[in-house]
Chain A
Amino acid sequence: MLAWIAPLALAVALSAILSEAFHRSLIPKLIAKGRLSEDVHKPGRPKVPEPAGPAVYLSFAVAVMVLASMTDQVSLEAVVASTGLAFLIGLLDDISPLGPKTKPFLLTLPALLLMASGAIVPRPYLPILGRARLYYTYWVILVAMFTVFSNGVNMMDALNGMMPLSVFASTAPLVPVLISLKSFSGLASLLALYGSLLPYYARNRYPAKVFGGDSNSLFVGAALASVASLSNSEAFFAISLMPFMVSGFSIIASIGGLMERRDIRIRPVLVEGGVIRANPDKRAPISLIAVLTSDRGKTEPRIVREVALISLLSGLLACITFFLLTPR
């Protein structure tokens, strides 16, 4: 286990340094090319450069590939390829928006790529039940997991800094789980993801200087799904990402099907003078932000802090479930 420390530290440091350098290089180029999006939750709707996804993904990919060459872990190369495909789908969506049904369909491809790599063992640990043998049904679950995680992370990318902070808060309690499962490639991928997200979070937190775009959120969702499946800890990642599902599933259920966030006619929340509150219209979809502001209006930083708190709670529940309620 001690032999892991140096390569894992390298993965975090390298991805963070590269991400910082790529952000510094990319943001002026995005501004020069006029690739700006409105920050709709702020008075005056300031324009913010988008997407920063390439800076986050490329730093992750280089760091993980360096680690793969040092440790001969083929599964790390499979993660880079699979998440790279999700990143490209997101980038395509950033350049020319994909349809609400096309995107979930395309997001099955990164799962198929990971499946084809042979890096996945279809024996997930399940709470209460222990280690299952799902040789037939596992592959359907894997495909669904990629789509659900990627869309969940995408839905969570609604306010300044909300997505990266919630990813840190919900998955950090799973680090002891990955250590306990002795999943080096899962842990290395997760820590490299943290490293590449740190410089992004520093710029995306309130008031945002950059937006990640779908290229960022779909890549992060696919990376989390890859880590979960490599380490056979799918159920625990699903529990830890429950706040992400609240947003994703509730919106889909309340509008009665798949729809792009920008195409939802009755908005879940209303914004006035920098204060966000749930739309009083009974037909408005339910989202996590709408739930948090159902009782009173709140400012953007306060909502982000509360979402992070909820994410930390679900991460801790996942950790407790693994150590106390899972036969091993």
Chain B
Amino acid sequence: MEFDRGLLLAIYSVLSGWVLVLGSLLLIKAIISVLGTRGFLIAMIEVIVGFLALSGALYLWYMSLRTLFLRVKLSSEGHSGPGGT
């Protein structure tokens, strides 16, 4: 049976995005439990670290998707022109 790697890649993009969002929220929870929630400065640091964690996760997600996308696209049959099935 031949897998549709394009569909698998699209499912991967959603699942990996979801895991990365949850991972970055876990990191924020860990930071909150260490620093606490009292004080404006600490709250600001937590918000900034939270945004950095989410942005980093988004960047990782995009780079992994791009790498896999190019690999699938350039290795697929008939990649030298339009048409296909």
Contact = CB atoms under 8 A, between A and B. Distances in A.
A293 B66 CA distance: 14
Contact of A295 (B22, B47, B76): B76
B76 A313 contact: no
A73 interface: no
A297 B66 contact: no
A66 to B, nearest CB: 37
Interface residues of A, number: 46
A155 to B, nearest CB: 14
B14 A314 contact: yes
A293 B6 contact: yes
Contacts of A288: 10, 13
B21 interface: yes
Contacts of A250: 62, 65-66
A310 B11 contact: yes
Nearest to A126: B25
Interface string B71-85: 011101111111111
B28 interface: yes
B9 A314 contact: no
A271 B14 contact: no
B83 A280 contact: no
A306 B72 contact: no
Interface in A215-249: 235, 238-239, 242-243, 245-246, 249
A297 B21 contact: no
Contacts, number: 128
Interface string B42-85: 00000100000000001000100110011011101111111111
Interface residues of B, number: 39
A262 interface: no
Given A129-B29, A278-B73, A291-B6, A296 B84 contact: yes
A317 interface: yes
A286 B6 contact: no
Nearest to B17: A242
Nearest to B18: A317
Given A272-B83, A310-B14, A286 B7 contact: no
A119 interface: no
Contact of B82 (A271, A294, A298): A271
B58 A249 contact: yes
A243 B72 CA distance: 19
A169 B44 CA distance: 37
Contacts of A294: 5-6, 9, 69, 72-73, 76
Interface string A269-310: 011110101101010001010111111111000000011001
Given A291-B65, A310-B10, 10 more contacts: A239-B18, A242-B18, A250-B62, A254-B66, A275-B83, A275-B84, A293-B6, A296-B4, A317-B14, A321-B22
Q: Which 5 A-B pairs have CB atoms at the shortest separation, nearest pair first?
A: A297-B84, A270-B82, A295-B6, A295-B5, A272-B82
Interface of A: 126-129, 134, 136-137, 235, 238-239, 242-243, 245-246, 249-250, 253-254, 270-273, 275, 277-278, 280, 282, 286, 288, 290-298, 306-307, 310, 313-314, 317, 321, 325
Interface of B: 4-7, 9-11, 13-15, 17-18, 21-22, 25-26, 28-29, 32, 47, 58, 62, 65-66, 69-70, 72-74, 76-85
21 contacts: A128-B26, A128-B28, A129-B28, A235-B21, A243-B10, A243-B14, A250-B66, A275-B84, A275-B85, A277-B82, A280-B73, A280-B79, A288-B10, A291-B65, A292-B10, A293-B84, A295-B4, A296-B76, A306-B7, A313-B11, A313-B15
